Amino acid sequence: MNYFSTRNKSLKFSFKDIFLRGLAPGGGLFLPTKIKKYNKEDLNILSHLNYNELASEIIFNFCPNEIKKNELSSLIQKSYNCFKNKEVVNLKKIGDINLLELYHGPTLAFKDIAMQVIGNMYDHLQVAKNKTVNIVVATSGDTGSAAIAALSNRKNINLFVLHPHNKISNIQRKIMTTIGGANIFNMAIEGSFDDCQKIVKELFNEDSFRARINMSGVNSINWARIVCQIVYYFYSFFKLKKKNISFSVPTGNFGDIYAGYVAKKMGLPINKLIVATNKNDILQRVINTGEYKPDTVKPTITPSMDIQVASNFERLLYYILDENDTKVGSLMNDLSSKNLFNLEKKEIDKIKEDFKAAKVTDEETLNIINEMYKEHKFIIDPHTATGVGAAKSFKNLGDIVVLGTAHPYKFSDTIKKAIGKNLDSPEHLKLNIDKKETFDIINNSSLEVKKYILSKI
């Protein structure tokens, strides 16, 4: 089982390589040379497994040379022990919405599901055995806390987390800056999430710096994260026991929904994948018009989706452009030199075979939270609400599963605004509200970030 770069097919990597590197040399993203395709009989067998068994089956396809099946099973078991739900996720019917709650992990966001596994993989693959690994990650709020929960106090691992200063929710920041051990460093960057992501990409592309600090990444461009997220598409599809199922996914960096695309490639007969965006609607625009043109980031009440450069979209492009790596590289060059690229009609049509997209404004999001509470006494977080909103624009599609990406408590201020109620902290969140927050405010500059990292290691 090999991996290659979306911008250069001739480069070959092992799972361990791509796990450690995150980003391919020259800036491309990693994809596997082969994606396992299940037939009807296989799917029938898989449909009888519990969540952990299903996770072992699916994830094993992507790392068969590095991790033995039985070791992977226990790694997964260990990773999901800390979840409130034995089955990790929870599928609920609320009115005519099928809600897949993905937020019962230690930091109340779907990102825990991949990050807990990744944390244990760092140990299992022994990547930090001889030399300390320094992980650098950009976050729009939730990746950071999930990574901290997964990597705090691990041996020979430091974690540097860049979040956009004052642009994440108070609870998001509070979790991130209070739960970590001495190996965790929080940096509040004076810029947007896109700035944070750009800095991290720059550091990865600088070979000498990357080698010097033995740098690794856990952003959603890390293939291992996508792999872990494929599992819940299968799981909920089987649970719902319907024929024609689409998924509505609150989307930022295009990682979570891309996992659904891979699930479909693996033979799961998903109908459509619905991209829900907020005002930062680059993905809605590219899917509906073919123009990929990042705008400046506008702050919204769904900060984890305040992203204009949706990195994982490159992984879709690779297949849309008929696996032509040179063409992917050339569009990505256009993006960095002209700040846009355009897709041809046949390419847009190809995207539309699998994807739909809808934009949901802040006002609509607040209304959805309010209606959901009034009609069903059920509280959803603003990100999940965009998924509900997008699903409502595609009622003709039949059954839709909305991915619930965060627990409402993480966005209490917005919930208060929508329904006039304060929320209690969920029991399994081990948050010490009075604990002093530790983070440093850093200029929006890769040079400053490098200096900071070097001063801490």
Ligand X SMILES: *Cc1c(COP(=O)(O)O)cnc(C)c1O
CB of 210 to ligand X, least distance (A): 23
Residue 365, interface with ligand X (CB under 6 A)?
no
Residue 250, interface with ligand X (CB under 6 A)?
yes
Q: Which of 57, 101, 112, 142 binds ligand X (CB under 6 A)?
A: 142
Q: Enumerate residues 50-79 that contact ligand X by CB under 6 A.
A: none
- Listed ranges 161-169, 244-252, 345-353, 391-399: which one lies at the site for ligand X (CB under 6 A): 244-252
3-state secondary structure the chain: CCEEECCEEEEEECHHHHHHHCCCHHHCCEEECCCCCCCHHHHHHHCCCCHHHHHHHHHHCCCCCCCCHHHHHHHHHHHHCCCCCCCCCEEEEECCEEEEECCCCCCCECHHHHHHHHHHHHHHCCCCCCCCEEEEEECCCHHHHHHHHHHCCCCCEEEEEEEECCCCCHHHHHHHHHCCCCCEEEEEECCCHHHHHHHHHHHHHCHHHHHHHCEECCCCCCHHHHHHHHHHHHHHHHHHCCCCEEEEEECCCCHHHHHHHHHHHCCCCCCCEEEEECCCCHHHHHHHHCEECCCCCCCCCCHHHCCCCCCCHHHHHHHHCCCCHHHHHHHHHHHHHHCCEECCHHHHHHHHHHEEEEECCHHHHHHHHHHHHHHHCCCCCHHHHHHHHHHHCCHHHCEEEEEECECHHHHHHHHHHHHCCCCCCCCCCCCCCCCCCCCEEECCCHHHHHHHHHHHC
Residue tagged 């075979």 (tokens): 353
- Give whichever of 329 and 404 is closer to ligand X, judged by the CB atom: 404
| CA gap 291, 102 in Å, rounded | 32
Residue 254, interface with ligand X (CB under 6 A)?
yes
- Listed ranges 38-46, 82-90, 254-262, 433-441: which one lies at the site for ligand X (CB under 6 A): 254-262
Instruction: Confirm whether 356 is a catalytic residue.
Output: no
- Give whichever of 25 and 294 is closer to ligand X, judged by the CB atom: 294
CB of 155 to ligand X, least distance (A): 28
- Give whichever of 133 and 161 is closer to ligand X, judged by the CB atom: 161
Q: Which of 253, 277, 284, 288 binds ligand X (CB under 6 A)?
A: 253
Structure tokens given for 9: 């097919």
Q: Which of 52, 216, 219, 251 binds ligand X (CB under 6 A)?
A: 251
Residue 222, interface with ligand X (CB under 6 A)?
no
Residue 195, interface with ligand X (CB under 6 A)?
no
- Give whichever of 38 and 193 is closer to ligand X, judged by the CB atom: 193
CB of 209 to ligand X, least distance (A): 25
| Closest CA relative to residue 86, chosen from 111, 60, 105, 108 | 105
Residue 112, interface with ligand X (CB under 6 A)?
no
CB of 146 to ligand X, least distance (A): 8
Structure tokens given for 315: 């992984």
- Listed ranges 161-169, 187-195, 245-253, 447-455: which one lies at the site for ligand X (CB under 6 A): 245-253
Which of 92, 111, 167, 410 is an active site residue? 111
DSSP state of 297: P
Number of residues that bind ligand X (CB under 6 A): 16
CB of 205 to ligand X, least distance (A): 21
Q: Which of 256, 281, 354, 364 binds ligand X (CB under 6 A)?
A: 256
Q: Which of 111, 167, 356, 450 binds ligand X (CB under 6 A)?
A: 111
Residue 303, interface with ligand X (CB under 6 A)?
no
Q: Which of 18, 89, 100, 109 binds ligand X (CB under 6 A)?
A: 109
- Give whichever of 127 and 357 is closer to ligand X, judged by the CB atom: 357
CB of 235 to ligand X, least distance (A): 18
Q: Which of 406, 419, 449, 453 binds ligand X (CB under 6 A)?
A: 406
Q: Which of 304, 365, 412, 414 binds ligand X (CB under 6 A)?
A: 304
CB atoms within 10 A of CB 317: 22
Catalog residues that contact ligand X under the rule CB under 6 A. 109, 111, 142, 220, 250-256, 304-305, 383, 405-406
Catalytic residues: 111
